[in-house]
Structure 1
Amino acid sequence: MSRRTLAGGLAIAAALTLTTLPAAAEQASVRFPSAKFPLGSRPVPTKTMTAVAQGIDLYDVKAGSATDGYTVTVLMPSGRDYGMQTTAEAKAAEVEAAGETPSVQKVVRPSVADAPSQTVYMVRVGLWSLDDKKKAEETAKKLKEAGLKVKVDYLGDDGLKTTGPWDVKVVMIDAGAFGGSFASSLGTSVAKRETVSSMVKAQNALLGVNGGFFNIHTDKALRGEPVGASVVRGKLLSEAVPGRSAVVLKGRTAKITELKTTVIATSQDGEKAEVNGVNRAVTTDELVLYTEEWGAKTPTGGTDAVLDANGKVVGVRESGAAVAAGTRVLHGNGQAADWLNEHAFQDWTVKVDTKVVDLRTGKALALTPDLNVIAGSVGLVRNGRVKITAKQDGHDSVNMILRRHPRTLLGTTRNGSLIIATIDGRNPGVTVGANFQEAAQFMRWLGATQAINLDGGGSTAMVVGNKLINRPSDGVERGVGDALLVLPK
Structure 2
Amino acid sequence: MKKLFVFICGHLWLIFFCFSISAQEFKTIQDGIEYAEMTREINNLPVKMNLLRLDLTKVRLDVVHAMDAAIGTETTSSIAMRHGAIAAINAGFFRLDKSIFAGDAAGVLQIDGRLLSESVNNRIALFISNKPKQTEVNFAHLNINDLFIIKKKDFYFSGINRQRKADELIKFTSYFRPTTLTENSGLEIVVRNGKIVEINDAKGDSPIPKDGFIISASGKMREQILPFVKVGRKIKFRTVVKFEAKESFPNTESRRTSITYSTAEDITNGVPQLIRNGKTEITWQQEKSSKAFVETKHPRTAVAKLKDGKFLMVTVDGRSEESGGIGLQNLAEILLEFGATDAMNLDGGGSTTMFAGGKVVNKPSDKEGERKVSDAILVFPRKKN
Could you say if the C-alpha distance between residues 436 and 381 of structure 1 is closer, same or farther in structure 2, counting changes exceeding 3 Å?
same
Q: Is the 8 A contact 1:297 1:323 kept in 2?
A: yes
* Percent of residue pairs identical: 25
Could you say if the C-alpha distance between residues 393 and 442 of structure 1 is closer, same or farther in structure 2, counting changes exceeding 3 Å?
same
Per-residue displacement from partner, 1:24-46 (whole Å, max 9, x unpaired)? xxxxxxxxxxxx64789758798
Partner of 1:459: 351
**C-alpha separation in 1, matches of 2:174 and 2:324:** 41
Could you say if the C-alpha distance between residues 42 and 415 of structure 1 is closer, same or farther in structure 2, counting changes exceeding 3 Å?
closer
* Structure 1 SS opposite 2:223: helix
Per-residue displacement from partner, 1:36-92 (whole Å, max 9, x unpaired)? 64789758798553313222211111233xxxxxxxxxxxxxxxxxxxxxxxxxxxx
Q: How does 1:183-194 map to 2 (within 5 A)?
A: 183-187=62-66, 188-194=68-74
Q: How does 1:52-71 map to 2 (within 5 A)?
A: 52-64=29-41
- Counterpart of 2:157, as a letter, is V
Q: Is the 8 A contact 2:121 2:288 kept in 1?
A: no
* Structure 1 SS opposite 2:340: coil
Q: 1:329 aligns with which of 205, 209, 214?
A: 214
Partner of 1:304: 188
- Counterpart of 2:103, as a letter, is G
Q: TM-score, normalised by structure 2?
A: 0.84
Partner of 2:238: 353
Q: 1:378 aligns with which of 272, 275, 292?
A: 272
Could you say if the C-alpha distance between residues 353 and 378 of structure 1 is closer, same or farther in structure 2, counting changes exceeding 3 Å?
same
Q: Is the 8 A contact 1:412 1:449 kept in 2?
A: yes
Q: How does 1:64-463 map to 2 (within 5 A)?
A: 64=41, 162-175=43-56, 178-187=57-66, 188-216=68-96, 220-251=99-130, 252-267=135-150, 269-295=151-177, 297-300=180-183, 301-308=185-192, 310-317=193-200, 318-357=203-242, 360=249, 361-363=253-255, 364-365=258-259, 371-398=265-292, 400-428=293-321, 430-463=322-355
Q: Is the 8 A contact 1:49 1:59 kept in 2?
A: yes
Displacement, 1:338?
A: 2.6
Per-residue displacement from partner, 1:277-319 (whole Å, max 9, x unpaired)? 11122233221111111126342121111112x2222221222
- Counterpart of 1:393, as a letter, is E
* Structure 1 SS opposite 2:142: strand
Displacement, 1:407?
A: 0.4
* Structure 2 SS opposite 1:280: coil
Per-residue displacement from partner, 1:219-244 (whole Å, max 9, x unpaired)? 72112011111110001001111420
- Counterpart of 1:355, as a letter, is V
Displacement, 1:265?
A: 0.8
Q: Is the 8 A contact 1:355 1:365 kept in 2?
A: no
**C-alpha separation in 2, matches of 1:483 and 1:472:** 15
- Counterpart of 1:316, as a letter, is I
Q: Is the 8 A contact 2:127 2:261 kept in 1?
A: no
Per-residue displacement from partner, 1:110-153 (whole Å, max 9, x unpaired)? xxxxxxxxxxxxxxxxxxxxxxxxxxxxxxxxxxxxxxxxxxxx
Per-residue displacement from partner, 1:388-437 (whole Å, max 9, x unpaired)? 11122232142x12220100011112343211100101012x11110111
Displacement, 1:372?
A: 0.6
Could you say if the C-alpha distance between residues 356 and 466 of structure 1 is closer, same or farther in structure 2, counting changes exceeding 3 Å?
farther
Q: TM-score, normalised by structure 1?
A: 0.67
Could you say if the C-alpha distance between residues 276 and 289 of structure 1 is closer, same or farther in structure 2, counting changes exceeding 3 Å?
same
C-alpha RMSD over aligned residues: 2.5
Displacement, 1:264?
A: 1.6
**C-alpha separation in 1, matches of 2:84 and 2:198:** 38
- Counterpart of 1:304, as a letter, is E
**C-alpha separation in 1, matches of 2:260 and 2:124:** 18
Q: Is the 8 A contact 1:38 1:441 kept in 2?
A: no
Q: Which ranges in structure 2 are unaligned for 5 or more consecutive residues?
A: 7-15
Could you say if the C-alpha distance between residues 228 and 423 of structure 1 is closer, same or farther in structure 2, counting changes exceeding 3 Å?
same
**C-alpha separation in 2, matches of 1:38 and 1:385:** 22
Structure (1 or 2) with the greater strand fraction: 2
Q: Is the 8 A contact 1:305 1:340 kept in 2?
A: no
Larger radius of gyration: 1
- Counterpart of 1:226, as a letter, is A
- Counterpart of 2:45, as a letter, is G
Q: Is the deviation greater in 55-64 or in 247-256?
A: 55-64
Q: Which ranges in structure 1 are unaligned for 5 or more consecutive residues?
A: 1-12, 15-35, 65-160
Displacement, 1:164?
A: 2.3
Q: Is the 8 A contact 2:59 2:381 kept in 1?
A: yes
Q: Larger relative contact order (C-alpha < 8 A, sep ≥ 6)? A: 2
* Structure 2 SS opposite 1:221: coil
* Structure 2 SS opposite 1:345: coil
Partner of 1:88: none
* Structure 2 SS opposite 1:320: coil
